[in-house]
A and B are shown apart, each in its own frame.
Chain A
Amino acid sequence: MTFDLNGFGGVLLAGMLMTIALALSSLALGLVLGLAGALAKTSSSLPLRWIGSSYSTIVRGVPELIWVLLIYLGTSSLLLQIGQLIGRPNLAISAFAAGTLALGLCFGAYATEVFRGALLAVPRGHREAGLALGMSSPRIFWRLILPQMWRMALPGLGNLFMILMKDTALVSVIGLTEIMRQAQIAVSFTKQPFTFYLAAAGLYLVLTMVSMAVMHQLEKRAGRGFTRAAR
């Protein structure tokens, strides 16, 4: 075995870029969904609470693989109907979009719980202080609650991101050329499954280590001005 993995090293690295792109775009979608879910779950209106809690319960109870397959294969007839309505008869969802939707949905459901915990951990007095200063509700959320929530939600979100990073491997099932898919392609050419799956494992380990380092820096930055609790 040579260092460039029989010429497939570059292909694996290209897969790694795809994995990173998929993880980051699902993270963006998941953060929005999670924040919306947490706000819905803690809101004073009953139907919104129902929506929020059924979202997090249902999505968390079904495997990620099922979501990936359901969104990729299950929405094709729906998309065809929509495509006929808007005059583009061969409308279809790409593997990347389906993967982003599925992983973002799952990340959002878990992030709902993390954000909800963080939201409840912001002292009531801060909101009341904002009201006393005459700030509007969205402004209080944006200027007072969100910055403080962020600090408390960060460790939980970091864990979820590690899980998300590893779940991107599932999208190889629907043919997106990320690390796992590229490794499978390389295996079908070289007949060296152990070598390439081990290389793929190594790439995931590198990604995990890098994101751990980034999370550490982010947590340090978000926690500045706060001393670590004594233990």
Chain B
Amino acid sequence: MIRILKVVWPWLLFFGLIGAILYGVTADVRWDAVYKSLPRLLEGALLTLELVGISVVAGLILALPLGIARASGNLWIGALPYVYIFFFRGTPLLVQLFLLYYGLSQFDAVRESAIWTGTQVQTTLDLGFHSWALDFKIPGLRDPFVCAVVTMTLHTAAYIAEIIRGAIRAVPQGEIEAARALGMSYAQSMRHIILPRAARIGLPAYSNEVILMLKASALASTITLMELTGMAQTIIARNYLSTEIYFAAGLFYLLISFVLVQAFRLLERWLRVDALQGR
């Protein structure tokens, strides 16, 4: 009897869990509400993608000089990036969002400046053959989207800078020496040898960071942004079906992260990350 139980209990557990989930799902779930919420959740998901896309690309650009400065080994060059990275890695993203979105308006000087309010651009662009009348607004930090993008960029840049530092450190010393022996300057060897090599070493960690930012973007809902989580909360405020709608939102996140993982796998294959890991 005990011997049979020893073999059977994992299956019992497995089917028990599946049964419990099926029972819970079929009991009294309002699938019609889930179905009806899909278009608006998709709208929110697009805003989430926009947020994440802009901030991980801008964060990478900002992180490059920071990471290189940290990898230089020079105490004076690395000190300021170190303080920056320490602050942004040591505090929650939620605090950073609130500091920028709610905190900055404490100072009158900030509240009246163009950084906060944004500026209206009104010029004519004349290229000789045709002239365009330009009239558009550059939004300031008062706009929750801009504020979220700026904060997430600053946040992720700190993490990416550490990834870049680690990747640069992991480039085999012999290859750097070979570059210098060929007469390349520091800048040349950085551009042609070290950075291309470090990009391949750091890519898996960078893809991790992108997935983490996808999930961190849910926090943008706390500064009134209608991304996936914010949209879910709005729908729930109307129909009170929190389980169903959060479940649907969770599925959207799972789907997006699955697609991102596959995309990075393709990118790794295209850059031949595995083949170049040889030591």
The interface of chain A, by Cβ under 8 A from chain B, is: 43, 45-48, 50-51, 58, 61-66, 69-70, 73-78, 166-170, 172-173, 180, 183-184, 187, 191-195, 197-198, 200-201, 204-205, 208-209
Contacts and interface: CB of A to CB of B under 8 A. Distances in A.
B90 to A, nearest CB: 4
A204 B215 contact: no
Contacts of A75: 243
B242 A204 contact: no
A212 to B, nearest CB: 9
Interface in B74-109: 86-87, 89-96, 98-99, 102-107
B227 to A, nearest CB: 11
A66 B253 contact: yes
B89 to A, nearest CB: 8
B13 interface: yes
B250 A66 contact: yes
> Which of B87, B98, B99, B104 has its CB near the most chain A CB atoms (within 10 A)?
B98
B95 A169 contact: yes
Contacts of B10: 43, 45-48, 51
Given A200-B95, A208-B91, 7 more contacts: A43-B10, A65-B218, A66-B232, A70-B250, A73-B242, A74-B243, A205-B90
Chain B interface mostly: helix
A193 B242 contact: no
Residue of A187, A194, A198 most packed against chain B (CB within 10 A): A194
Interface string B196-221: 00000000000000000011111101
B95 A66 contact: no
Interface string B213-235: 01111110110000001001100
Contacts of A58: 254
B242 A194 contact: no
A167 B106 contact: no
30 contacts: A47-B14, A48-B13, A50-B14, A61-B258, A62-B215, A63-B217, A63-B218, A66-B246, A66-B253, A69-B242, A70-B243, A70-B250, A73-B242, A74-B246, A75-B243, A76-B242, A77-B243, A78-B24, A166-B91, A168-B92, A169-B92, A183-B98, A187-B102, A194-B104, A197-B99, A198-B103, A201-B95, A204-B91, A205-B87, A208-B91
Interface of B: 10-11, 13-15, 17, 24, 86-87, 89-96, 98-99, 102-107, 214-219, 221-222, 229, 232-233, 236, 242-243, 246-247, 249-250, 253-254, 257-258
A223 to B, nearest CB: 21
Contacts of B87: 201, 205
A193 B103 contact: yes
Contacts of B253: 61-63, 66
Contact of B105 (A45, A193, A201): A193
Contacts of A51: 10, 13-14, 17
Given A47-B11, A166-B92, A201-B87, A66 B242 contact: no
Contacts of B98: 180, 183-184, 193, 197
A65 B243 contact: no
A197 B103 contact: yes
A141 to B, nearest CB: 16
Contacts of A46: 10
B14 to A, nearest CB: 3
A70 B13 CA distance: 24
A64 B219 CA distance: 9
- Sorted nearest first, the 8 A-B pairs with minimum C-beta distance are A47-B14, A194-B103, A63-B218, A169-B92, A63-B215, A74-B243, A166-B92, A73-B242
A204 B90 contact: yes
A84 to B, nearest CB: 14
Contacts of B258: 61
A74 B242 contact: yes
